A and B are shown apart, each in its own frame.
Chain A
Amino acid sequence: MRGLLLIFLVLLPVSAQAWTEAEREQILSFGPWPPEAARDSSNRLSGNPAAIALGAALFSETRLSPGGIACISCHQPQKGWGDGLARSKGMQQLDRNAPSVMNAHLSRWFGWDGASDSLWAASIRPILDEREMASSAERVAATIRSDAALTCQFEKVAGTAPQHLVDEAVMVLGAKAIAAFQETLTSGRTPFDDYRDALARGENAPYPEAAKRGLKIFLDSACAACHTGPSFSNGEFHDTGLPYFMQNGRPDPGRYEGIKRVRANPYNRLSRYSDDPDSGFTVRHVALLHRNWGEFKTPSLRNLRHTAPYMHDGSKATLIEVIRHYSELDEDRLHVDGEAILRPLRLDEASIRDLAVFLETLSASNVPDAASLERWAEEARKCRK
């Protein structure tokens, strides 16, 4: 009888198996979603509707770049606010995948290397980068000043005409407006969120059996050590054993260079352009470590269905490929005293599929689209004195 009971327990599907209290707590930590809107204290335009409208207009403004590249060129609404390319292309071919800007406002560091510590600084970076938009403060200011509607909207936002400000100040305010717009790009609820909330209420919610098994694998295999919280990202940087050579044969230094750049960034939270220098304690205290060489930011796992390909270099076309990478991880590429959490998952095919199904349930069907961008931008474009 005892033997039969054991067999029954072993065969019991996860669906009928109650989560342990620790597992339940961990599952609840992935919500609630959406998180409460929080304003960026370093950006006085954060949450300002007029600035959001200006930012939306600037987000798709091709005149900002001599090559006609706009933010939207690499962050396309119909492609999950990425560009669908493995490695992105601006004025030149780039070495990294364009990360989605959806939910980006929930980050502490921005970009795969965290070279920016605010969304507005992260918006300035590609504008000035010769490989991306190859623009300048002069060009950004001239574009805004030469367009009546943009000038009107800018004045409404800044309280003064762009003609009365130096070029750099116009660019920074423009970037802060772009950041204010990006803060509106929060994705909708997902099947996982419904399941999670029901669990919080002590209720059952429809959720695929395969997704539950995948969630169990996710919890057991320490994926959740780095993919934490409602965004499924700890917002920090790790070596995941992936090669990180660039097309020129040199390695991408990743976070190592990112720390150097964020410290030296004239637009960081400690800078004179920050509206809350006290919020810059992270950049003041971030330490440059040898281990940072080749580390990249833990990406959010939300909306993966919309944001392929994956990894910092877009080298994985599908979620199955990503899972296989962690399943067959080359431990020799990891320092034995470095990423001690990472070990090959050694998953069988069924488990790989289950984990992929779980990850799919983190994608929302209701995500911000081009129409939401246009609604905001239209408001700016019709601005008249």
Chain B
Amino acid sequence: MKLWSMPVMLVALAAGSVQAQQQSYAGPLIDAHVHYSHDAWDMLPPDKAIAVLRNEARLKRVLVSSSSDDGTQKLYAIAPDLIVPELRPYRRRGELSTWMKDDSVIAHLEDRLRRYRYVGIGEFHLYGADADLPVPRRMVELAKQHKLFLHAHSDADAVERLFKHDPDALILWAHSGFARPDEIRAMLSKYKNLWADLAVRSEHGRDGKVDPDWRKLFEEFPDRFMVGTDTYTPERWYYIAEHASWSRDWLADLPKDLAERIAYRNAEALFARTGFALPQ
């Protein structure tokens, strides 16, 4: 008997089984890793960018840093209730591998810190012993002086060096350092002022299910993680809503309280530790 010649059977098969769908997390969500750099401005002007964040992704707040910082200010100017500004040490794209050896970066940071209010300095790229260079050291001092956190795209070594410069520093570890859960656990255990964003990481929440190793980590450190997209090209702005949806799927696999902490409470708690007053 050939399936091909069995129309009745085909109809029956076509009916198929409907897989039970898990409800997505429906609470507030903060995206803690967005850039609005100069090459996005024409393609996605500020009003449209805000519409993506507010209407398409349905975000409560968004931590934005940009190359140049003007991008962040453009968004903050029209949506202060949504945008949480942080200051990159980059004046334009293309400085991520040179900024730490460029003394003029300090003047840039000091100038912007005089003129605008921020919640943190970052996201910056810094690895290993480069964290001991004079520019990063001065940046850590500025963060302390202005009560800002540091958003570090760094390996564990650089994060440890930053904490040596200021043991009381607040550090948001971008991409959780692209480290394994056991490595992240070691760092979070060692540093109580270390938080971790999950930008560009997929392994913790595939297909709406939280990986067991990551679940343990989230349960051990319920106050330290937050979600983020990372819009490192203009095209990825259109991924923010997809990422939010993806995040809501795996957050739904966690207990409500833990999901809410990772979704927005941890980010708000970190913001509250700084000198930046969040508009209500």
Q: Which of A39-97 contact B (CB under 8 A)?
A: none
CA distance A336 to B35 in the complex (A): 15
Question: By the criterion CB–CB under 8 Å, are A166 and B178 in contact?
Answer: no
* Contact segment of B5-13, B99-107, B272-280: B5-13
Main secondary structure of the interface of B (DSSP, over half): helix
Binds B, one of A107-115, A157-165, A194-202, A360-368: A157-165
Chain A residues with Cβ below 8 Å from B236 are: 251, 293-294
B231-269 near A? 1/0 per residue, CB < 8 Å: 011111011001100100000000000000000000000
One of A180-188, A230-238, A242-250 contacting the partner: A242-250
Task: Please indicate the chain B residues that have their CB under 8 angstroms from the CB of A173 in the complex.
Answer: 4
Inter-chain CA distance A335–B175, complex, in Å, is: 12
A332 touches B201 (CB 8 A): no
Asked if A272 lies at the interface with its beta carbon under 8 angstroms from chain B, I say yes
CA distance A288 to B232 in the complex (A): 19
Complex interface residues of chain A between 212 and 262 (CB less than 8 A to chain B)? 243-245, 249-251, 253, 256
Is A249 within 8 A of B200, CB to CB?
A: no
Interface residue? B184 (CB, 8 A): no
Q: Are B3 and A291 in contact (CB under 8 A)?
A: no
CB <8 Å contact, B202 and A290:
yes
Residues in B with CB closer than 8 Å to A291 are 200, 202
Q: Is A18 an interface residue (CB 8 A)?
A: no
User: Does A289 touch B at the CB level, under 8 Å?
Assistant: yes
Across-interface contacts of A249 in B (CB, < 8 A): 43
Q: Is the interface of A mostly helix, strand, loop or mixed?
A: loop
Q: CB-CB contacts of A284-317 with B at 8 A, as 1s and 0s?
A: 0001111101100000000000000000000000
| Residue total for B at the interface (Cβ-Cβ under 8 A) | 32
B220 CB → nearest A CB, Å: 24
Q: Please state if B3 and A290 are interface contacts (CB–CB under 8 Å).
A: no
Q: Are B5 and A165 neighbours in the complex by a CB distance under 8 Å?
A: yes
The interface centre, meaning the residue of B96, B125, B233 with most chain A CB atoms within 10 A of its CB, is: B233
Contact partners of A338 in chain B: CB under 8 A = 200
Shortest CB-to-CB span from B205 to chain A, Å, is 11
A294: which B residues are within 8 A, CB to CB? Answer: 233, 235-236
- Confirm or deny: B216 has a beta carbon within 8 angstroms of a beta carbon on chain A: no
